[in-house]
Amino acid sequence: MRKIGILTSGGDCAGLNPAIYALARSLYTRLDEVELIGIYDGYTGLIDLNFKKLELRDFDDLLDKGGTFLRSIRQSFKTIDVKNDKGYSKADRMVENYKALKLDALVTLGGNGTHKVANLLSQRGLNIVALPKTIDNDIFGTEETFGYQTAIQRGVEYIEVLKTTAASHSRIFLVEIMGNKVGWLPLETGVASGSDVILLPEIPYDIKKVAGAIKKTLKIRNYAIVTVAEGAFSKGESRKFKERVLERKAAGYNFVSDKLAAELAKIIPEEMRTAVPGHFLRGGAPNAYDINYTMQLGDYAAKLIENEVYGVTVAKIEGDIHHNLLSEVAGVAKPVTEENRLMKAARNVGISFGD
Ligand code: F6P
């Protein structure tokens, strides 16, 4: 009998439920005897021993469902190995509870933070298989994370809707797309929605250049679309996202797009509106791409468990499904670079990045 724990951690996205569906059903097929333990609320459930023994029927209708039925909580990596006054850290508790549950392996579905904790637990001797989830697409070593394509599709549909009202009223729309440290989602959403300007966290903008690009667009069309990453910032501002959020909020702006609109209004007179889809990009059902993608990732994770290959994360490499060592990818940054083909093409067709 093999006993496998499953948890989902960090910000949710579309694809978590079908990934669990694929993992579980493939495990039932591959292993003669298997018991699956669903751990609730991410690592918090492993710390507090909040879990449920899962049966085949628990996975039955997960294939096309958004969110995660195991629920999710963010755990700060910084505090995971800090000892409390009784001499125990959260990591200690997790190791202890993994053993108490008699788990043979733990599958962690999550993003960067989740991978860092997974790596730490793997170094502590736990058998870990990770799956790469996040709308940000910022996990090093995999060409794509799941949830990303659904988020792009949602963002593009959202902007397409705004374009008709922007055209009717001859307005500029600043659309803020999630991505505080990396700009993959704003880049792909911005390009596919026909945005005129795309502002990314990797490329600090010059407000005069942004205004210039909008004016240029308004010479050939009566409206303009600016995709603004949640983490976009101007040259001269702090490079630290958290510091910028504090400064912006102190200045009375909830969203970065509101601050940008105020800066632009000083330079260009045209009517402007901001729009923030926010968590709309993360919620709802996965698209067909993400269902089919998570089917392959989940099945591959089951194969790793069948072969007792641990300390790894499943990855898309050169279009196929493989795995990387957690120790080699956890915590490594994956920013948008000028070498990226889409970046190059976007620049060549005249999309402005405000720099
Ligand atoms: O990491 C996913 C993400 O959606 C980021 O794009 C965004 O900056 C952040 O999570 C929002 O987090 P929360 O759901 O905690 O507000």
257 within 8 A of 276, measured Cβ to Cβ: yes
**Considering the chain, what percentage of its residues have pLDDT values greater than 70?**
100
Confidence at residue 355, expressed as pLDDT on a 0 to 100 scale: 98
Confidence at residue 352, expressed as pLDDT on a 0 to 100 scale: 98
Distance 11 CA to ligand 1 centre (A): 6
Per-residue pLDDT averaged across 318-325, rounded? 98
Handedness of CA 96, 100, 104, 109 (dihedral sign): negative
* Domain 2-147+283-329 in this protein, CATH class: alpha beta
Per-residue pLDDT averaged across 314-318, rounded? 98
Strand residues in the chain grouped as ranges (E): 2-8, 34-39, 51-54, 105-110, 128-132, 172-177, 197-199, 224-229, 272-275, 312-317, 320-325
Pairing verdict, β 34-39 and 51-54: antiparallel
Neighbours of 321 (CB within 10 A): 16
Distance 161 CA to ligand 1 centre (A): 23
In this structure, the residue with its CA closest to atom 12 of ligand 1 is 11
Q: Is 22 exposed, middle or buried (0-12, 13-18, 19+ CB in 10 A)?
A: buried
Per-residue pLDDT averaged across 140-156, rounded? 98
Distance separating alpha carbons of residues 25 and 113, to the nearest angstrom:
27
* Residue range 151-281, CATH number: 3.40.50.460
Q: Is the minimum distance from the CB of 134 to ligand 1 under 6 angstroms? A: yes
Confidence at residue 69, expressed as pLDDT on a 0 to 100 scale: 98
Q: Is the minimum distance from the CB of 180 to ligand 1 under 6 angstroms? A: yes
- Measuring CA to CA, which residue among 3, 65, 75, 23 is closest to residue 45? 75
Ligand 1 atom index nearest CA of 136: 6
128 within 8 A of 118, measured Cβ to Cβ: yes
Neighbours of 340 (CB within 10 A): 14
In this structure, which amino acid lies at residue 220?
Answer: I
Distance 217 CA to ligand 1 centre (A): 31
The model's confidence at residue 279, banded by pLDDT at 50, 70 and 90, is very high
Instruction: Express each pLDDT in 66-87 by its tens digit.
Output: 999 999 999 889 999 999 999 9
In this structure, the residue with its CA closest to atom 11 of ligand 1 is 11
Residue the block writes with tokens 């983490």: 231
Per-residue pLDDT averaged across 149-154, rounded? 98
Whole-angstrom CA distances from 316 to 142, 233, 245, 300, 302 are: 5, 31, 33, 11, 16
41 is catalytic: no
Distance 180 CA to ligand 1 centre (A): 8
pTM of the full structure: 0.98
Distance separating alpha carbons of residues 151 and 193, to the nearest angstrom:
13
- Measuring CA to CA, which residue among 260, 214, 213 is closest to residue 234? 260
Instruction: Express each pLDDT in 216-249 by its tens digit.
Output: 999 999 999 999 999 999 999 999 999 999 999 9
Distance separating alpha carbons of residues 236 and 342, to the nearest angstrom:
27
94 within 8 A of 48, measured Cβ to Cβ: no
The model's confidence at residue 157, banded by pLDDT at 50, 70 and 90, is very high
Going from N- to C-terminal start, the domains of the chain cover 2-147+283-329, 151-281
Q: What ipTM was reported for this prediction?
A: 0.98
Average predicted confidence (pLDDT) for the chain: 97
The model's confidence at residue 97, banded by pLDDT at 50, 70 and 90, is very high
Neighbours of 125 (CB within 10 A): 12
What 3-state class would DSSP assign to 132? Answer: strand
20 within 8 A of 54, measured Cβ to Cβ: no
Distance 278 CA to ligand 1 centre (A): 9
Neighbours of 318 (CB within 10 A): 6
The answer to which of 38-47, 74-83, 305-314 has the lowest mean pLDDT is 74-83
> Best mutation site among 75, 114, 180 for ligand 1, i.e. most ligand atoms within 8 A of its Cβ?
180
Confidence at residue 70, expressed as pLDDT on a 0 to 100 scale: 98
In this structure, which amino acid lies at residue 76?
Answer: S
Distance separating alpha carbons of residues 135 and 127, to the nearest angstrom:
26
Per-residue pLDDT averaged across 315-321, rounded? 98
- Following DSSP, what letter does each residue of 25-64 receive, concatenated? HHHHHH-SSEEEEEETTTHHHHHHT-EEEE-GGGGTT-TT
Instruction: Express each pLDDT in 281-303 by its tens digit.
Output: 999 999 999 999 999 999 999 99
9 within 8 A of 43, measured Cβ to Cβ: yes
Distance separating alpha carbons of residues 45 and 348, to the nearest angstrom:
49
Per-residue pLDDT averaged across 28-45, rounded? 97
Confidence at residue 288, expressed as pLDDT on a 0 to 100 scale: 98
Distance separating alpha carbons of residues 354 and 260, to the nearest angstrom:
12
Ligand 1 atom index nearest CA of 282: 4
Catalytic residue among 41, 104, 136, 138: 136
Per-residue pLDDT averaged across 160-176, rounded? 98
> Best mutation site among 75, 77, 135, 227 for ligand 1, i.e. most ligand atoms within 8 A of its Cβ?
135
The model's confidence at residue 38, banded by pLDDT at 50, 70 and 90, is very high
